[in-house]
Structure 1
Amino acid sequence: MDYMKWAVTVIGLLLPLLIILYKLWLGRRISNRANNVDNASRTLDSIASASGSADSDTLLPLPFGEYEVFMNFRGPDTRYQITDILFRFLVNLKIRTFKDDDELRKGEGIWPNLVEAIEQSKIYVTIFSENYAYSKWCLKELAVIVEHQERNQGCIILPIFYMVDPRDVRHQSGPYLRAFRQHENFFDEETIRIWKAALNKVGALKGWHVKSNDEQGAIADLVTGIVWSHLSKNNFLETDKLIGMDDHIEVVKERLALDSPCMTIVGIHGIGGIGKTTIAKAVYNKVSPQFDRCSFVEDVREMLQQRDGIIILQKHIISDILRVKNFAESIANNSAGIRIIKDRISRFKFLIVLDDVDEKFRFDKILGNIKNFVSGSRFIITSRNVKVLSTLTDDCKLYKVLEMNHSHALQLFCNHSFKQDSPPSSYETLSNDIVSVAAGLPLTLKVVGSLLFQEEKVIWEDKLRQLKEIPEEEVVERLKISYDTLNEEAKQIFLDIACFFIGEDKDLPSYMWSDCDFFPISNINILRQRSMIEIASHLLFHMHDQLRDMGREIVRQENTRHPWKRSRIWSKGKALDMLCNQKLTLLYKLWSGRRSSHTSISVDNASTQSDSNPLQLRYLDIKARMLNDDFSNYVPGLRSLRVSFKYSGRMPNFSVDNLVIVELFRLRGT
């Protein structure tokens, strides 16, 4: 009994003190809350800060109109659960996200700002919870979101059903029915109808149903991936209009076999400037939403030329897939990068595009064993060299990009030269002529079209004449990348083909190249792998016109003022000029005082010649009316000779010490 009296006495003494402390605590909380509400009315982003869901340094106020994602949810139900987890993921990726909170608003004055934030966003994440429908703010926002999305098809709504049956949202049953019974006492029928229609539409969308035993972090990660993919899709090709891409996209998608569970690599190859990167980007934009994670790496060739290029490439891929930049900074060597890729990257269903790889690219040294990656993942790799792609794996599916047809080429050219799809009538002939010279190469069409934009017709006419003789410098530099990687023997063969042998049988010059130790079998194969030549039907050499012009420009640059000092002469006009001016004693003798109709020369050491200093020709193709002289002292190193001449009773005398090919043709009428 004494104990009870003592306890009552102590409680009586402490109770007033407890009441005072409680009032002080409550007053401070109310004051803090009032401050938070005031901040919310001044800047909407401070609402997210007040919820305590992210570090303060990541929640700096953003001007209206700069948000990308708008989160619509009821705070008491989800604030410290899926909402905060998802918000933190988005903020860490620097995705500008507005996180609304219906509990932290002060009056209706903030509503115009909310509407503005909704209209400026691209993606809406609606988190439906059990008591969501009791909030008029949530319902009002949802109605605006639906209306805005209907007017702007580029916007998307991503619904999350948090501990609530999607059918209750869609049909306003269960807790949503009870909520609307309350709303009917305060709102008119039209408002109720609009809210229900919005719930019905969004509730029918495919989303994520979060249950009590689900890993909310994993679901938030999936939602973040969709957000990231959608934003990347919107921003990837904004600056370039796609023309003639539909067929390419469909072929590459078919090779990707997106419905197959297997891991697949698709290799896109073709000459420089043909549009491989554009096709890869277009396909990436089309299919990236179907993957958990995506990465597009441009200019892999240049990246690997840098010091620690492999590590730089690995960091790029790891940062894109894991979406954590600091994590990749810990990579010290390529082995560490491969280990991270195997342990962390390989678990995702991903799409990785590696653009413009060359011989320095080694899949296993950069990404590890291809068998480590989960089924459903896809690689798209572009290269000028088909061998680089074909050696990746036996299952690599190849796609060669060919030149544009004339219709698409003309449209692309006009987009750059006139900013429209077709030329004005006064420029129609000129435009078609320039497009024909470009031979369907998108790079040339874009470069020349941009140069001629808003230029006078006389400039167009001059440019056309120039293009027929000299290709555009920027185009040459891009195409020359493949040439520069060749060994010296392959370069000589390429230049010979460009100057003399397009449309010719491959076997005849191969005898000459073999005798010159140019190793034609292996080097012709190298040229084919790099898409620099083709062996057409009947074993004839074929080369894209722009590559031919690039090769001839390389020869022209050997000496731009004195053609006779170049290594090769294929122009009839320049050969005749040399004949007329006796620049080469040999040609002067072959000319015999009458004009030749055809002259082609390949020279090892071209210079002004005299009888005591014979010309070091290895290939000569000439037509002449008369050949009556003794030429054995003039071309001692000649390997291949093709002569068409009028027969006068005796054959011309050539040195045969080094000849491996002789073709003699008698002119008609002789």
Structure 2
Amino acid sequence: MIEIYGLGGIGKTTIAKAIFSRICDHFDGFCYLENFREKLGTNNGVIELQETLLFEILRDRNLKVGNKSRGINMIMERLSFKRILLLLDDVDKWVHIENLLGGCDWFAFGSKIIITTRNKHLVATLGKCFSMHEVKELDQNEALELFSMHAFQSNKPKKDCLELANQVIQYTKGLPLALVIMGADLCGRTKPEWKSAIDKYKRIPNKEVQNVLEISYEGLDEAEQDIFLDIACFFKGFHKKYVLDVLDSCDLHPIYGILKLINMCLITVDQYEKLSMHDLLQQMGKDIV
């Protein structure tokens, strides 16, 4: 099992799909299940994913699951001897995987399951049968190339727009989703329109980007949301121990809460034990407040 984790919009799905496409022909069967988190919310969604998995591997349109438990049994019986490649995109709870598959060790030796998630802790209880890979922000050159591909249809920016392009790069802090959306939005516009749009982005977050980032925030409980907003508004750059002391006095249970935010890729702690978060997450937090 391979867990690919990171902040929303960081490129987990893009990377996983590229890997999947490159190696899928080396397996007895392969299946890509997208929008995993959304579909696992209902029994019908579970059944739909189970039927999709069985069809993609066996190519038998006559297989009907009927109910979740029967689907799990069919997956165990029909797929246990096959060496498969399975991509589960956007998973937030391990129990959802169990509801779909039952046991991930049912497939033949050499099978691979790739999971994309915002939750670093998702498969941490499984021991040595998995590897974890964090997707990080793009560096300056990578960000400029990605942005240019969408803003200029070239891997390099126009010379007269380089300064404005660098302002966008600075604002997005290497988040691929924001670079793609803003690049497409600015494509073909005049320099005055660019300047106006960049000023607007700095004051009013792009709704499409914010909606993706808010998914992780909405998955927190009330105390964890309060901790996130406090860090976004007051404690970014502060020492972790100081923040723990302050939030503990507010009965927010910050030892667990801050660990949850770290696992959800919403905040980071540097080598000096100082708290930080992506600028666009901080902007989202302030906008929520």
Name the TM tier (shorter chain). Answer: over 0.9
Per-residue Cα deviation, 1:9-38 (whole angstroms, up to 9, x for no partner): xxxxxxxxxxxxxxxxxxxxxxxxxxxxxx
Q: Secondary structure at the match of 1:344?
A: helix
Question: Are 2:33 and 1:297 equivalent residues in the alignment?
Answer: yes
Is 1:382 paired with 2:96? no
Q: 2 CA distance for matches of 1:513 and 1:506?
A: 10
Alignment-mate amino acid for residue 516 of structure 1: C
Cα-to-partner distance string for 1:547-585 (whole Å, 9 max, x where unaligned)? 111111212xxxxxxxxxxxxxxxxxxxxxxxxxxxxxx
Whether the 8 Å contact between 1:363 and 1:392 is mirrored in structure 2 is: no
RMSD (CA atoms): 1.4
> Per the alignment, in what secondary structure is the counterpart of residue 32 of structure 2?
strand
CA distance in 1, matches of 2:61, 2:151: 41
Deviation of 1:393 after TM superposition, in Å, equals 5.0
Question: CA separation in 2, counterparts of 1:367 and 1:538?
Answer: 42
The residue number in structure 2 matching 1:315 is 51
1:239-287: CA deviation from partner (whole Å, max 9, x where unpaired): xxxxxxxxxxxxxxxxxxxxxxxxxx00000000000000000001111
1:177-188 to structure 2, matched below 5 A, reads none
Q: Does 1:526 align with 2:260?
A: yes
In the TM superposition, structure 1's runs of 4+ consecutive aligned residues that sit over 4 Å from their partners are none
Q: Which of 179, 192, 196 is the matching residue for 1:458?
A: 192
Code of the residue aligned with 1:490 in structure 2: it is E
Does the aligned pair in 1 maintain the 2:13–2:116 contact within 8 Å? yes
Q: 1:490 pairs with 224, 246, 264, which one?
A: 224
Shift of the 531–354 alpha-carbon distance from structure 1 to 2, 3 Å rule, reads: same
Helix, strand or coil: the match of 2:146?
Answer: helix
- Where 1:429 maps in the other structure, the secondary structure is helix
Q: Is the 8 A contact 2:43 2:68 kept in 1?
A: no
The one-letter code of the counterpart of 2:35 is: D
- How many residues end up aligned between the 2 structures? 289
Q: Displacement of 1:315 after TM fit? A: 1.1
Alignment of 1:577-656 (within 5 A): none
SS at match of 1:495: helix
- Equivalent of 2:172, from 411, 417, 438? 438
SS at match of 2:168: helix
Q: Deviations over 1:411-448 (max 9, x none)?
A: 11111111111111111110111111110000000111
Question: In the alignment, residue 74 of structure 2 is paired with which amino acid?
Answer: I
Q: Counterparts of 2:34 and 2:126 in 1: how far apart (Å)? A: 19
> Does 1:371 pair with 2:105?
yes
Distance in 2 between residues matched to 1:422 and 1:295, nearest whole Å: 36
CA apart distance, 1:369: 2.3
- Secondary structure of 2:46's counterpart equals helix
C-alpha separation in 1, matches of 2:18 and 2:67: 33
1:280 aligns with 2:20: no
Q: Structure 1 unaligned segments of length 5 or more: list them.
A: 1-264, 556-670
Q: Deviations over 1:583-642 (max 9, x none)?
A: xxxxxxxxxxxxxxxxxxxxxxxxxxxxxxxxxxxxxxxxxxxxxxxxxxxxxxxxxxxx
**In 1, Cα distance between equivalents of 2:42 and 2:230:** 33
Find the structure with the greater CA-based Rg.
1
Matched letter for residue 383 of structure 1: T
| Structure 1 equivalent of residue 288 of structure 2 | 554
| Separation in 2, partners of 1:357, 1:337 | 19
Question: Which residue in 2 is equivalent to 1:137?
Answer: none
- Aligned-residue sequence identity (percent) comes to 38
Do residues 476 (structure 1) and 199 (structure 2) align? no
Tell me the distance in 1 between the aligned counterparts of 2:261 and 2:271: 17
SS of 1:325's partner is coil
Q: CA deviation at 1:516?
A: 1.3
In the other structure, the counterpart of 1:350 is: 84
Rounded to whole Å, the distance in 2 between the matches of 1:477 and 1:288 is 32
1:320 CA displacement:
0.6
**Offset of residue 387 of structure 1:** 1.5
The 8 Å contact of residues 383 and 389 in structure 1, kept in 2 or not, is answered as no
Cα distance, 1:326 vs structure 2: 2.3
2:84–2:107 Cα contact (<8 Å) kept = no
- State the TM-score, normalizing by the size of structure 1: 0.42
Q: Residues 519 and 551 of structure 1: is their aligned pair in 2 closer, same or farther, counting only changes over 3 Å?
A: same
Aligned twin of 2:249: 515
The alpha carbon displacement at 1:394 in A equals 4.1
Are the equivalent residues in 1 in contact too, given 2:40–2:96 (CA < 8 A)? no
In 1, Cα distance between equivalents of 2:56 and 2:213: 30
Within 2, Cα distance between the matches of 1:381 and 1:392?
13
Any idea what the Cα deviations from partners look like across 1:74-99, whole Å, max 9, x if unmatched? xxxxxxxxxxxxxxxxxxxxxxxxxx
Shift of 1:469: 2.5
- The one of 257, 261, 270 equivalent to 1:536 is 270
* Shift of residue 509, structure 1, vs aligned partner: 2.2
Equivalent runs, 1:161-180 vs 2, <5 Å: none
Q: TM-score, normalised by structure 2?
A: 0.96
Taking the aligned partners of 1:443 and 1:553, their CA distance within structure 2 comes to 19
Q: Distance in 2 between matches of 1:423 and 1:337?
A: 51
Paired residues of 1:341 and 1:367 also in contact (CA < 8 A): yes
Offset, 1:360: 6.4
Query: Within 2, Cα distance between the matches of 1:410 and 1:361?
Result: 39
Matched residue type, 2:33? V
Whole-Å separation in 2 of the counterparts to 1:428 and 1:363:
46
Once residues 370 and 423 of structure 1 are traced to their aligned partners in structure 2, the CA distance between those partners, rounded to angstroms, is 46
In structure 2, runs of 5+ residues without a counterpart are none
Q: Please say if residues 94 and 123 of structure 2, whose CA atoms lie closer than 8 Å, have aligned partners that are also in contact.
A: no
Report the Cα distance in structure 1 between the residues aligned to 2:126 and 2:37, rounded to whole angstroms: 16
User: 1:371 deviation in Å?
Assistant: 2.8
Shift of 1:370: 2.7
Query: In the alignment, is the contact (CA less than 8 A) between 1:269 and 1:401 conserved in 2?
Result: yes
Contact conserved, 2:4 with 2:134, CA < 8 A, in 1?
yes
Q: State the shift of 1:317 in Å.
A: 0.8
Residue 217 of structure 2 aligns with an amino acid whose one-letter code is Y
